[in-house]
Amino acid sequence: MDREQAQAIEQHIPALRRYARALVRDADKADDLVQDCLERSVSRIAQFQPGTNLRTWLFTIMHNLHCDALRRVQRRGPHVPINEWEAGAQYPATQAATIEIREFERAFARLTKRDQHLLFLIGVEGFSYEEVAEVLDIAVGTVKSRLFRARERLRALLESAAVRVPPQKFQEELALRAAGS
């Protein structure tokens, strides 16, 4: 692996971290996932085809690693964290934006993992339909139809919670939270 390839991979690390946080919802596990992804991409750089999209290749590696990890968890059973009670701790909101973001996060969490991944890749990471199709190994038409249905489900969940979709600045804040900022 030459220096140019290393720099090309390095520039995608922030996006990989955001995607990992969205996949696993835990900073430590996300860092582990990114590390595994980088390790695999470096060890298999010879399999990368020059002229193709490096970002898509890296995200595909991460997606596949995540799917493998989910299969391992299913075989072993769920891990219950010791401090599980902290997840239920709630603090009163001081601003309307905080409430809107929380309702959006709750609605988003109620979506299927497939819908969450699709909305995250397109909405936060800015992937094209074609890139998402390549990462998830599905047809572009399938991406479009799944995205439409995912947006409709999210909209319905938000309407049932009697909240509106957060404005652009709140969506940016949500993306920062997902990135660990």
> What domains are there in the chain, each with its CATH number?
3-76 (1.10.1740.10), 94-179 (1.10.10.10)
- Specify burial of residue 121 (Cβ count, 10 A radius: 0-12, 13-18, 19+): buried
> In this predicted structure, which of 2-6, 17-21, 35-39 has the lowest mean pLDDT?
2-6
The CA distance from 71 to 97, in Å, is 37
Position 17: which residue type? R
- Position 170 pLDDT exceeds 80: no
Structural tokens at position 1: 């692996």
pLDDT at 159: 86
pLDDT at 23: 92
The count of other CB atoms within 10 Å of the CB of residue 2 is: 8
Question: What does the pLDDT average to over 53-77?
Answer: 91
> In this predicted structure, which of 21-35, 65-79, 166-180 has the lowest mean pLDDT?
166-180
pLDDT at 89: 57
pLDDT at 181: 47
Whether residue 53 contacts residue 99, with contact meaning beta carbons closer than 8 Å, is answered with no
